[in-house]
Amino acid sequence: MSIEIDPAWMMTVFLVSLRVGVLLLMSPIFTAIDGLVTVRVLLTLVLSGMLVSTMQLPAAPVALSIGPVIVAALQEAAVGVTLAFGVMAAFGAFSMAGEILDIQSGFGLASVYDPVTRGGAPMFATMLNMLGVVVFFSMDAHHAFMRGIAFSLQHAAPGDGFAAFQPDAVVRMFGLMFSLGVALIIPVMLCLLLVEIGLAVVSRVLPQMNVFVVLVPVKLAAGVILFALTVPLLGSPMGRVYAAIFQFWEQVLT
């Protein structure tokens, strides 16, 4: 029994695996499997092979020589990095929102152990990042993630790279990251601001009270309670964060 392997099909799978591999490597969604290199490689290869076979993609337009292969590989890596930037910027909204809450509530003075990075991380930033990943899968956004990869292969064929890259889409994604980050925590920010105003008024009425001693525990407790009360309301802004990923992909691919 002889096994025939199509070199063009293998080249297409190789190029698609570069795009998918870079996307999965840089995506914050899959940071929990950073140490599982074998799992990540197998997932990339299996997913790439399935995409090439089921979508019936055209064979990569490169000759089997080192020069065109390197150029095509660099183009695929550039596409993967650009797509991964959209994911990183969207999930950066969770990190930025958590950093703001940590600073405003006082938890920025300490950090908690992050089992993913094996280092210290602010509490609210860690909680929002974990919550963002959980909600991402609970909303079936990973299915949209797979459809987005297929969409990228349809509009940027393996080995061709971007037809016309739009840098303004990257700039808009930066601004969207900040606006969505503030939208996630705006109720808690306003309530903590009211707490600070109230304590400032109390300090003026009772000048003998050490407001700095009272302010820290009050803000810590208020931050935790207010965040817990607003968690059920985060569904809509989180949906906007996830939608921003695919809007960015559509902008840079079409």
pLDDT at 61: 58
183: how many CB neighbours lie within 10 A of its CB?
Answer: 17
Q: Copy the structure tokens of residue 139.
A: 């909303």
* Average confidence (pLDDT) per 10 residues, the chain, 254 residues: 66 87 82 68 85 76 70 87 89 87 76 57 80 87 88 83 75 86 88 86 78 78 87 87 89 83
Q: What is the pLDDT of residues 98-135, one digit of tens each?
A: 888 888 887 766 665 555 555 566 778 888 888 888 88
pLDDT at 57: 72
Burial pattern 1-30, b for ≥16 Cβ within 10 A else e, equals eeeeeeeeeebbbbbbbbbbbbbbebbbbb
Between CA 105 and CA 219 the distance in angstroms is 5
Instruction: Give the contacts of 187 (CB within 8 A, at least 6 positions apart).
Output: 226, 230, 233
pLDDT at 64: 59
pLDDT at 133: 86
pLDDT at 111: 61
Residue 119 belongs to what H/E stretch?
strand 119-121
pLDDT at 124: 82
Q: Copy the structure tokens of residue 253.
A: 């691919």
pLDDT at 11: 82
**Alpha carbon of 34 to those of 41, 153, 193: distances in Å?**
11, 25, 39
pLDDT at 2: 56
Q: What is the DSSP letter of 19?
A: H
pLDDT at 32: 56
Between CA 108 and CA 122 the distance in angstroms is 6
pLDDT at 63: 58
